[in-house]
Homo-oligomer: A and B are copies of this chain.
Amino acid sequence: MGVTVADIVARLGGECVGDAGLPIDRIATLEAATPSSIGFLANPRYRGQLASTQAGCVIVAPAFKGEAAARGTAIVTPDPYLYYARLSQWWVGRIRPATPRGVHPSAVVDAGAVLADSASIGPLACIGAGASIGAHTRIGARVVIADGCHVGERCIVHPGAVIGADGFGFAPDNGYWAKIEQLGGVRIGNDVEIGANTCIDRGALGDTVIEDGVKLDNLVQIGHNVHVGAHTAMAGCVGIAGSARIGAHCTLGGSANVLGHLELADHVHVSAATTITRSILVPGRYSGLFPFDDNAAWEKNAATLRQLHALRDRLRALEKKT
């Protein structure tokens, strides 16, 4: 159970400065670290914490090597945040039992589902007919993978997620809504992570597609026929309306929305709480959010905003006059 800084470096690389034999029993933030903790400085903004932290060992970039060495033991590596990620992966294998392979006895798996031997199906999960689950994928407690939906390899699906409910499709019929049956499925690539209570709807005719390496946080809504490109990440409460096509390597901040049938190019970054209302073909960061203020100031500005177009006209009139 004992780990030293030398053990970590032997496993994950980096240059050890100081006491390689230092025993480490915890990974911690610099703020919460104790003398037997290892911490990391990922954001230069927190540089000041180097001086105050109690951490026995700190993971730092080369630029902070001197500063870190002056205070104690350090591991120097080009990307401390990535090093921390890898350390956390190694660490979890030491402190937690591996997720058991196979199907929890309380799960309900259709006889026609195809599960890789190394897949893990959690308690009270539900896997439909014709669904498939790839190797080393972990389906959490209470997840639903509906009929004919496919999850790739090394995926993690967190509790409560629903993959393959019907897309929201209705045709107006004299004041009634006629249901459009959703005949497609959901295809999820490899190395995808899907958050708790997130929903990905099945396609209307073809499949809803989530490509390799996509990461979705909790309570995300992916409408039918959506295509999410590889390695795109979406934070909590994002909503992607039906038939939108999101590029690869995009990021969407929390509660962002993309309306239906739009296209986002690769490497588009949408700020939190921003709603995208037309296609974006140029990579970059896009935002649209009413800046918050104290309530009284907001009320005045919001009221004026409702007359903004008229104000513009008044300004034009003045410009002509002077």
Query: Are A308 and B304 in touch, CB under 8 angstroms?
Result: yes
Contact present for B297 and A306 (CB under 8 Å):
yes
**Interface stretch of the complex, out of A1-9, A13-21, A86-94:** A86-94
Q: Are A183 and B95 in contact (CB-based, < 8 A)?
A: yes
Chain B residue, CB-CB nearest to A220:
B219
* Contact, CB under 8 Å: A180 / B276: no
**Which residues of B lie under 8 Å from residue A170 when comparing CB positions?**
85, 215, 233
Point out the residue from B204, B218, B271 that lies within 8 Å of A199, measured CB to CB: B218
Query: A196-B165, A223-B236 known; A178 and B82 CB under 8 Å?
Result: yes
Contact of A284 among B221, B233, B294, B315 (CB under 8 A): B294
Q: Are B183 and A91 closer than 8 Å at their CB atoms?
A: yes
Interface string of A289-322 (1 = CB under 8 A from B): 1111111011111111111110110110011011
A276 to B254, CA, bound (A): 12
Nearest-neighbor residue (CB-CB) of A105 within chain B: B108
B318 touches A322 (CB 8 A): yes
Interface residues in A141-173 by Cβ distance below 8 A to B read: 141-142, 144, 146-147, 156, 158-160, 162, 165-166, 168-173
Is A118's CB within 8 Å of the partner chain B? no
Q: Are the CB atoms of A160 and B162 closer together than 8 Å?
A: yes
Report A269 CB to chain B, min CB distance, Å: 8
Copies in the complex: 3
**Nearest CB to that of A297 among chain B residues?**
B306
Give Cα A321 to B312, complex, Å: 18
Interface status of A274 (Cβ within 8 A of chain B) = yes
Q: Known interface pairs A181-B88, A295-B287, A318-B322. Does A159 touch B168 (Cβ–Cβ under 8 Å)?
A: no
Chain B positions within 8 Å of A236 at CB level: 168, 199, 221, 223, 239, 241
Least Cβ–Cβ distance between A147 and chain B, in angstroms: 8
Tell me which residues across on chain B come within 8 A of A219, comparing CB atoms: 197, 199, 219, 221, 239
Would you give 8 A-B contacts (Cβ < 8 Å), ordered by A?
A88-B181, A92-B183, A124-B126, A218-B221, A285-B295, A287-B298, A291-B303, A301-B305
- Give the interface of A toward B (CB within 8 A): 27-29, 32, 79, 81-82, 84-86, 88-89, 91-92, 95-96, 104, 106, 108, 122-124, 126, 140-142, 144, 146-147, 156, 158-160, 162, 165-166, 168-173, 175-181, 183, 191, 193, 195-197, 199, 201, 204-206, 213, 215, 217-219, 221, 223, 231, 233, 235-237, 239, 241, 249, 253-255, 257, 259, 270-277, 284-295, 297-309, 311-312, 314-315, 318-319, 321-322
